[in-house]
Each structure stands twice: as C-alpha cells, then as structure tokens.
Amino acid sequence: MLYREAGQFKTTYAEDMAIFPIRQDRMALAILLGIAFIGVPLLADFDIWPFGSDYLLRAILLPFLILALAAIGVNILVGYCGQISLGSGAFMAIGAYSAYKLGTGVDIPLAWLGFAISIPPLPVLLSILLGGLAAAVVGILFGVPSLRIKGLYLAVATLAAQFFFDWVFLRVSWFTNYAPSGSVNAPTLDFFGLNVGTPIERYMLCLIFVTVFAVLAKNLVRGNLGRQWMAIRDMDIAAELIGIRPLYAKLTAFAVSSFIIGVAGALWAFVYLGSWEPLAFSIDRSLQLLFMVIIGGLGSIMGAFVGAAFILILPILLNRIPSELGVPLSTETITHLEFIIFGSLICYLLIKEPHGFARLISLGKEKLRLWPFPY
C-alpha cells in the first residue's frame, strides 16, 4: 500500500524513461543522498555515534565508495557487455601509477632523439582523470583481441594483462620514481586550493566522484550504447545483423570500463591508502571486484554498490560476531571461514539468482508493490 505505482501516470516518454520512475523510489534515493551528503558529515563533525571515531569513515565508508566505483566499471564490461575480465586489478594499478607519475612530474629523456619529454607535476584532479584515461587506452588495446577471442579465452587474455602489469609496476622502477622500497606515497591532495586531509574530507571527495560517475554510467547503460553492449552480450551474431558493430561496442565497453576502474585505482591509492605497493592491485583484487559484481548483480549499477557493501562488511562481521558471542576463533580460521562463505554464496547466487542481490531487491520491490495484498 505504501509502495504503489497507482496514480502515478507518465505523460511523456521522458518521464517514463527516468532512472527512478516511481515516486517512492525517488524519495528513498533523496533520503539516501541526504544522509550521505549531509547527515554523515554532520554526525562526524560532532562525533556522534556511529561516527564517534574515525573508524567507520576511514575503514569502511571510504573503501566502500571507491570499490563500488571500481565495481561499476567492472560491471559495465562483465555484466552489461558480457566480456569476462580477470584483470581489473591491473587496470586499477595503471590508473594509480599513471596518476602518480603525472602528479609528480614526468621526465622521459630521449637522448637518442636529442630532447626530453618533460611534464611538470599536474594538479591532482587532472592526474587522476588522466590516470583513468591511461587505463582506458590500455583497456582498448586489450579489447582489440576480444573480437577473435571470446568467453573463457578472453578471461585468459585478461589474466595475461594482470600478471604482466603486476610485473611492470614491480620491476620497472621508473614508475615508482626509483623508490628503493618499491612503495610510493601519494602527492598532497590539493583540489582547487582546498587541501583534502581529514577522513571526512576524503569521504566527501570520493562521494562526489562516485555520485558523478554513477550518474554518467547509468545514463550510458540506459541509452543506445548500453543496449548495444547488452545485445553483444546476449547474442553477438544477431547484434551484428541489426547493424551493431561488435568492435565498436566491445572497445567502448573496454574503454569506459577501464577508465572508471583506472580512476577508482587512482582514488584508492591517493585518497584511501596514501602510500601503496603493487600488491594492492594483484589478482586478489581482480577476483574481489568480480565477486562484488556477481553478488551484487550483473548488469546493474545499483548492484555494484550492494556487492561492494557486502564484500566489505562480511569480514568485519566475521571478525566481530564470534568474539561477541564468546566463541574465540583464530584469525586463520576466520579467513578460511570467509573463503567458504564467499565461495558458497557465489555458487548459491549463481544457482538461484544469477542477477545477484540487485535482482532480489527488485523482486522484493515487486512484492512490496502488492503488499499487504498477496497478489
């Protein structure tokens, strides 16, 4: 009764095609955004629970936002366009290290040509976006084979990217500015004169990035390009016969996806970690992102958020609950339990609901539309 479309008539196609056509959904979103943009900073400023300490902001909300952004990128490639990728960690790394080099000044001496390419350190915002662009370029390169190589074989190709870039950022010291320990520090985060340092400032920065990108991504998948991606995913031969060019569709998917993942990588390194090593972007990260997308829902922007939240919160729950209940488990056992639960969940979701929690939520909404009537 509360959640009903009755009485909400759409008189234009524009209204019908809006992201949230149902008024109740719009209100829910408004409340969520209100909490995110206004509520959280307020509570944090006054140290009100649950923001009494930095922990929630620093260790949960911040990684949640950035990983959700990366998951949106992965979802575009895997969920909407159907190209499986096990190399998303590498693209985060490309974004991070490119942004780092651009933010600290690039100096390529081409002695054999007689001059050097020298770029002074760029403003942080520009470095991050250009880092994403670098990732997009590499993404396009790795997308080119996707015409000939499909499905599983493509997964192997993306693994090749993952391992290759793992090695590049480890061995080619130019990327780490020849740091002896192999780990690097982010440049200071100056955005238009404002310095971003405290957890709440970092949170707001990421919130803005994520919101903007989520809207842009949602627009893309709702439009013609999104339909082209889904057509390629569902039946690429038929897609070609109605005039969709597979190369264009796949390459744009790779490009957009890698751009978003690259930006997320730069944010992860600059804003969340502060200082990092190549290990932060290993295959574990790629698998983690893939899990987020599967659990949250393939082919759903909202699913990326749900999946990210789930994957971040579960380990924390697993850590806290046994001790709360008085059953002490070693950290090792907890890790193993995590593995088992994640694995089982993946299998369960794939069997029961391949579209993940996002679909379960939509189904829930369907039920809610009828509530309290049974049918």
User: Between residue 232 and residue 261, which ones bind another protein under the rule CB under 8 A?
Assistant: 233-235, 237-245, 252, 256
Q: Compare residues 15 and 47 and give the one whose CB is closer to another protein.
A: 15
Q: Report helix, strand or coil for 59.
A: helix
Q: Based on CB atoms, which residue is closest to another protein, 56 or 76?
A: 76
Nearest alpha-carbon partner for 10 in 19, 1, 22, 2: 22
- Could you tell me which residues are beta bridge partners of residue 108? 117
The residue (of 31 and 247) whose beta carbon lies closer to another protein is 247
Rounded to a whole number of angstroms, the minimum distance from the CB of residue 2 to another protein is 22
With respect to another protein, which residue has the nearer C-beta, 155 or 306?
155
**Cβ-based nearer residue to another protein, 160 or 279:** 160
Cβ at position 322, least distance to another protein in Å: 14
Q: How far is the CB of 347 from another protein (least distance, A)?
A: 4
Cβ 243 to another protein, closest distance in Å?
A: 4
Q: How far apart are CA 56 and CA 199, in angstroms?
A: 10
**Count of residues touching another protein (by CB under 8 A):** 72
Nearer to another protein, 26 or 245 (CB): 245
Residues in 296-325 that interact with another protein by CB under 8 A = 299
Query: What's the alpha-carbon Rg for the chain, to the nearest Å?
Result: 22
* Residue window 336-355: x/- pattern of binding to another protein, with contact defined by CB under 8 A: xxxxxxxxxxxx--xx--x-
End-to-end C-alpha distance for the chain, whole angstroms: 12
Sole window of 13-21, 47-55, 64-72, 362-370 interacting with another protein (rule: CB under 8 A): 13-21
Q: Which of residues 44-73 bind another protein (CB under 8 A)?
A: none
CB of 16 to another protein, least distance (A): 8
Q: What's the min distance (Å) between Cβ of 190 and another protein?
A: 27
Nearer to another protein, 225 or 269 (CB): 225
Minimum separation from the CB atom of position 348 to another protein (A): 8
Number of Cβ within 10 Å of residue 334's Cβ equals: 16
Name the phi and psi angles at 3, rounded to 5.
-105, 95
Q: Which stretch binds another protein (CB under 8 A): 133-141, 168-176, 181-189, 274-282?
A: 168-176
* Six token digits for residue 375: 């049918």
Pick from 358, 352, 344, 259: which is nearest to 309 by CA? Answer: 358
User: What's the burial of 357, exposed, middle or buried (CB within 10 Å: 0-12/13-18/19+)?
Assistant: buried
CB atoms within 10 A of CB 196: 18
Contact 182, 277 (CB under 8 A): yes
Distance of CA 361 to the CA centre of its chain: 20
Residues 126-165 binding another protein (CB under 8 A) are 145, 148-149, 151-153, 155-157, 159-160, 163-164
Q: Which of residues 174-233 bind another protein (CB under 8 A)?
A: 216, 219-220, 222-225, 227-228, 230-231, 233
- Which residues in 203-222 are b (16+ Cβ under 10 Å) and which e? bbbbbebbeebbeebeebbe
**Residue 360 contacts another protein per CB under 8 A:** no
The amino acid at residue 53 is S
| Minimum separation from the CB atom of position 63 to another protein (A) | 20
Binding window for another protein (CB under 8 A); candidates: 127-135, 199-207, 306-314, 331-339: 331-339
Closest CA to 102 of 127, 72, 78, 134: 127
**Closer residue to another protein in complex, CB, 41/246:** 246
- Cα 63 to Cα 34, 57, 149, 337, distances in angstroms: 20, 9, 34, 22
Contact between 215 and 223 (Cβ < 8 Å): no
- Closest separation in Å from C-beta 153 to another protein: 6
By beta-carbon proximity to another protein, the closer residue of 253 and 280 is: 253
Residues 86-115 contacting another protein, CB under 8 A = none
